[in-house]
Amino acid sequence: MTGGVLLVTSTLVQSLFFAGDFPLMPVFVIPGVLALAIGFLCFAIAILRVIPRWAGIPLIVGALALLGANDQNARILFAVPFEVGWIVVGWVLWADQTQHRVRSTK
């Protein structure tokens, strides 16, 4: 949450006070991105208690790959493993819910 707040705050300050040119932007963005990536990594580790380990590994790898992502060039593709990790987690949770529903109707 702290990373998100830092990123939103720095973007607001940049647009409101500096007309899009914020000289201190790296001071706010780099810690924000690191805090966001660490938060995602901690969340991925915590979610391993709910889902099978094999399903949480893509989320952890994706959270680490986010450190190399940059939306200004082709390095944005480093966000793809994180998205795939969320797809896997959603699929596992959905499949587990469907199995419970089928078992409970018998």
Write out pLDDT tens, residues 8-46: 777 777 777 777 676 766 776 777 778 877 887 788 778
Computed over its alpha carbons, how large is the radius of gyration of the chain? Answer: 18
**Pair of tokens at residue 43:** 């969340």
pTM of the model: 0.60
Q: Which residue has the tokens 């992502």?
A: 69
Q: How far apart are the first and last CA of the chain?
A: 43
CA distance 54 to 4: 28
What tens digit of pLDDT does each residue of 37-64 get? Answer: 788 778 877 887 888 888 888 888 888 8
CA distance 54 to 51: 8
* pLDDT band at residue 87 using 50, 70 and 90 as cut-offs: very high
